[in-house]
Chain A
Amino acid sequence: MRLFSKILQVGLATEPLPPTSHEVVRLLHEVDDRARRLFGRALAIREVDAGSCNGCELEITGLTSPVYDSERFGVHFVASPRHADLLLVTGPVTRNMAVPLVKTYEATPAPKLVVAVGDCSRTCGVFKGGYGVAGSVDQFVPVDAFVDGCPPEPAAILRGILAAVGRR
C-alpha cells in the first residue's frame, strides 16, 4: 500500500521528451535500410573503447537513450564482437588496448565495418605524443569511416555509420 501511495504522491517525475529531430529519424531509417541490404538483417554494433576520455562514450550512450532510441530501428549494441557487424572504436589507441583492438577486429565475423568515432581516433587529439598512446585507430585496423568532433553528437555518429554502411 505504501508503494501505491508513494506512486500517487510523486506522480510523473520524468521530463517530457524534446521534439524528435526528423533528421535523426531519417538517418536511422536509412542506416537500417542499408544495413538490411548489406547484411540481410538489422545492424549489430560492438563498441570498443581503445583509450578514450569517455566523452565519445557519453554520446554513443545517447544513441540508445529515449531521445534517439536507435534500437527501434534495429540498430543495437551487442556484448561480444562475435555478434557484431560493425565496430565503433573511440579514442586514441593506447598501448594496453592495441592488441585487444586487433583481436576484437579478428574476432568479428566478416563482412565487418569499422567506424572510428571522435577526433582522437583520427589524430590522437590532445593525447598525441603521450607515453601511453600507440597511435590512431587506422594504424591498427582498417577504418571504413571517421566521425569528427570532440565529442561528436549522436546524429554525427549516425552519419558516420551511414557512410560506412553506404561504402559497401
Chain B
Amino acid sequence: MRSLFALMLAGYALGAAAAVLRPGGRGGRGLVAAGAVLGGAAGLALALQVLLTGTPFVLEAPAVLSIADGLLFRIDRLGALFLGLVGFLAVPCGLYGAAYSEGYEGRASLRLLGALLNLFLLTMSLVPCAGNVLTFLFMWEGMSLTSYFLVLTETDEPETVLAGGWYLAMTHAGLALALAAFLLMATSSASTTFGDLRAAAPALSPSARNAVFLLALLGFGSKAGIMPLHVWLPRAHPAAPSHVSALMSGVMIKMGVYGLLRVGLDLLGGGPTWWGALLIGLGALSAVIGVLYALMEHDLKRLLAYHSVENIGIIFIGIGAGLMFQSFGLPALATLGMVAGLYHTINHACFKGLLFLGAGSVAHALGTRNMEEMGGLIKRMPRTALFFLVGACAISALPPLNGFASEWLVFQALLGGSAIPQPEVAVVMPLAVAMLALASGLAAACFVKAFGITFLAIPRSARAEQAHEAPRSMQAGMAMLAIACVALGLLPFAVAPILGSTLAGLGRVTPAAIELTRSLPLQVPGASGQMSPPLLALGLVVLLALLPLGLRLLGAERRGRVGDTWGCGRIGQTPRMEYTATAFAEPLRRVFAELYRPTRDLSIDFHPASKYFVQSIAYRSEIHPWIERLLYNWPLRGIRRAAVWVRRLQAGSLHLYLFYLTLAFLVLLTMARWWR
C-alpha cells in the first residue's frame, strides 16, 4: 500500500515537473498526461485495495508541518471510495487533456495548465486521505486554489476572470465555515485527528452538534453546489478547460459530499430527524431548480454545470433519506439511502465526466459552446456523438445505464419512508419523490434538447459544417467513461456491497444492514419493487431483435425508402427552418414563467414601402435569475461598501504598513498580557 501511495504521489509530481520543465509540444503534453494517468491509476489501485481488504492505510508525517499535529494520512473505506473516484476520473481526463490542451498552444500557458492539473489531482486525491483537520484543510485549500487557477486558463476572455472571482469567493466562504465547524468540534477533543474528534463528539451539547452540522452543511454545500450556494458552478465550469470541467464537476464537487458525510455521519454519528429532512429539502430544491435552469441554457457546458446542481441534489436526497432513517432507528433503510446517494455519486462522476469531455470535443472542433451554432455533428463526429449519447441516456436515467440504477435506489429509499409512522415524514417523503420524479423527467427533456440540437439535423453554422472528429486520445478518454457508464448500470449487484462496506462503522450503521446490500439491486427490504439490471438489458436486446423480426413477419417492406425530411413541401431546406434550442425550451419557459421571469424583446424591421415585407426579425429573450439576485445582491452590496471603506487603510505607503505592523504587534502583546 505504501508503495502505491508513493507511486500516486510520484505520478502526479512527475506530471507537474514535466509540465514545468517541458511545456507544450507533443512530447510535453504526453508527459503531463502520463503523470496524471500514472497517479490516477495508482490512486485507484490503492483505493481498491483498501476497499476490498478493509484495512485502513495510515501514514504519519508530523515533521512535514509541525503545527497542529502535522500531516496525517489515514485512508479508511469511505475515504478510499472518494480517492478511487479521483483516480478513476484522472485517467480518462489525463488522456483527453493530452490532445485537448493542444488548442491552448500559444494561447495560454501550458506550463501552468499542466503543472496545476497534476497538483489539482494530487491535492484532490489527498483530501479524502486526510486523517486530521490540518491535513484535510491544507489539501482542501490546495484543491480549491489549483482549481481556481485552472478556471482562469482562458484569461483572454473577460467572463473567465469574473467566473474565477465568484468561484474563489464561494469556495473560501465555504472553507471558513468548514474551518469553524472543525474548530467547534475540536474544543472538547484531545487532538485534531478525526479519531479523537469522533470520540469527543458524543460529549458535545446538542446545540453545538447542530451548529457543527449546519456549518459543515453550508461549508461543504458551497463546494458541492447545493441550491442557494450553487452560483459559482454555472460560471466556473464553462470557463475551465473541458477536462478540468469534467474533473471539477465529476469529482471535486463530490468532495463536498465527502466532507458532509465525514462530519455529519462519521464524526458526529448522525443526528436528529431534521438534519435528514433539511438535506432532503435542499436536495429536492437543487434537483428541480437546477434542471429547470439547465433547460434554458444554450451554452452546452453551462447546461451541464446546471445538471451538476441537479445531480448533487439527487445525491443529497439519498444521503438525507439515510440520515433520516437512521434517526428513526431503521438501519436497513438508512443504509439503502446512503448507498443510493454514494452510488449516484460514482455514477454522476462517470456520466458527467463523459458529457463534459464530449462537450469539450464539440467546443474543440467548433470553437464555440453555443448550441444554436451547432447541429448535424453526428455525421461529422460520429464517435463523439455516440459517447455523448451514452452519457445523455445515463444522466436521463434510462435503463440499463448507470443513472437508472442509482436513481431507482434513491426512489426505493424514499418510498421506504412509509415505514415511519410520523406525520412530518409522511409529508416530506412523497414530496421528495414527486420532486425527484419531476427532475428526472425534465432532465430527460433537457438532454433530448442537448443531444438533438447539437448533433442532429443540418449544421446551423459554417463552423459546424467544417467540424472534424476529435483526436484519438480524446476519443479514448470518452470511450473509457462510456464503458464505465454501461458497466455500472449492468453490475450494481457488484457495486452495492462495496458501497455498503464503506458505511461500516459510520454512525449507527449495523453489520446486518450492510449484509443487506448484497441483495440490494434485486430486492429492497420492505419495498414492493424489484429490479434486475442484467435482465433489463437482456429484455431490451431481445426487444430490439424481436422488433425487426416481427415487422418482417407482418410483411413490412424490407428495404427502407430514403427521402428528404418533410418540410411542408418547401423547396430547399435551410438551417433557419430548424428547431432552435430556445424554441425547444419555450413551452417550459411559459409553464415556469414565474421562476424564470423571462424578458422578451421582439423587434421587426419592415420594408419602408409596405409592412407586409419583413426585412429582419430580432428576438431576444433572457431569463431573470431572481432567486440568485435576491440572495446575493445585498451581501455583494455590503461587501463592496466595506471594500471601499477598507481601501482607505491601503494607502500604499510603506511607513503606514510598518505602523500597522507595530500596532498589531502591540495589540497582540497587550492581549497576551491581559487575556488570562
A interface residues (Cβ-Cβ under 8 A, vs B)? 80-82, 99-101, 103-104, 106-107, 110
Contact = CB atoms under 8 A, between A and B. Distances in A.
B571 interface: yes
A106 B561 CA distance: 10
B569 interface: yes
B564 interface: yes
Query: Chain A CB within 10 Å — which of B564, B566, B569, B570 has the most?
Result: B569
Contact of A99 (B557, B563, B566, B571): B571
Interface in B542-573: 557, 561, 563-564, 566, 568-571
A101 B563 CA distance: 15
A29 B564 CA distance: 36
Contacts of A81: 566
17 contacts: A80-B566, A81-B566, A82-B566, A99-B569, A99-B571, A100-B569, A100-B570, A103-B564, A103-B571, A104-B569, A106-B563, A106-B564, A107-B563, A107-B564, A107-B569, A110-B557, A110-B561
B570 A107 contact: no
A99 B557 CA distance: 27
A24 to B, nearest CB: 31
B571 A100 contact: yes
What size tier do the contact residues of chain B reach? Answer: under 10
Nearest to B565: A107
Contacts of A99: 569, 571
Nearest to B570: A100
B175 to A, nearest CB: 58
Pairs of residues from A and B, 7 with the lowest C-beta to C-beta distance, nearest first: A100-B569, A103-B569, A107-B566, A99-B571, A104-B569, A82-B566, A106-B563
A10 B296 CA distance: 48
Contacts of A104: 569
Nearest to A97: B569
B571 to A, nearest CB: 5
A110 B570 CA distance: 21
A80 B563 CA distance: 15
A104 B563 CA distance: 11
Interface of B: 557, 561, 563-564, 566, 568-571
A80 B568 CA distance: 8
A100 B564 CA distance: 12
Contacts of B566: 80-82, 107
Contacts of B561: 110
Contacts of A80: 566
Nearest to A106: B563
Contacts of B568: 100
Contacts of B563: 106-107
A37 B569 CA distance: 30
Given A81-B566, A100-B570, A100-B571, 17 more contacts: A80-B566, A82-B566, A99-B569, A99-B571, A100-B568, A100-B569, A101-B569, A103-B564, A103-B569, A103-B571, A104-B569, A106-B564, A107-B563, A107-B564, A107-B569, A110-B557, A110-B561
Nearest to A101: B569
B556 to A, nearest CB: 11
A22 B372 CA distance: 57
A134 to B, nearest CB: 14
A82 B565 CA distance: 10
A107 B7 CA distance: 63
A102 to B, nearest CB: 9
A90 to B, nearest CB: 15
Nearest to B569: A100
Contacts of B564: 103, 106-107
A82 B568 CA distance: 10
Nearest to B572: A99
A120 to B, nearest CB: 19
Contacts of A82: 566
B475 to A, nearest CB: 36
Nearest to A48: B569
Nearest to B555: A40
A100 B557 CA distance: 26
A104 B566 CA distance: 8
A115 B146 CA distance: 72
B638 to A, nearest CB: 55
A88 to B, nearest CB: 15
B44 to A, nearest CB: 51
Contacts of B557: 110
Contacts of A100: 568-571
Contacts of A110: 557, 561
A101 B570 CA distance: 10
B636 to A, nearest CB: 52
B550 to A, nearest CB: 15
Nearest to B563: A106
A81 B568 CA distance: 9
Contacts of B569: 99-101, 103-104, 107
A82 B564 CA distance: 12
A103 B570 CA distance: 8
Contacts of A107: 563-564, 566, 569
B560 to A, nearest CB: 11
B284 to A, nearest CB: 40
A108 B568 CA distance: 12
A103 B572 CA distance: 11
Contacts of A101: 569
A99 B566 CA distance: 13
Nearest to B557: A110
Contacts of B570: 100
Nearest to A103: B569
A106 B571 CA distance: 13
A151 B569 CA distance: 25
A120 B570 CA distance: 23
Query: Chain B CB within 10 Å — which of A80, A99, A107 has the most?
Result: A107
A81 B570 CA distance: 13
B64 to A, nearest CB: 71
B577 to A, nearest CB: 14
A107 B570 CA distance: 12
B403 to A, nearest CB: 33
B620 to A, nearest CB: 31
Nearest to A105: B569
A22 B568 CA distance: 37
A80 B569 CA distance: 10
A130 to B, nearest CB: 21
A125 B114 CA distance: 78
A103 B561 CA distance: 14
A3 to B, nearest CB: 27
Contacts of A106: 563-564
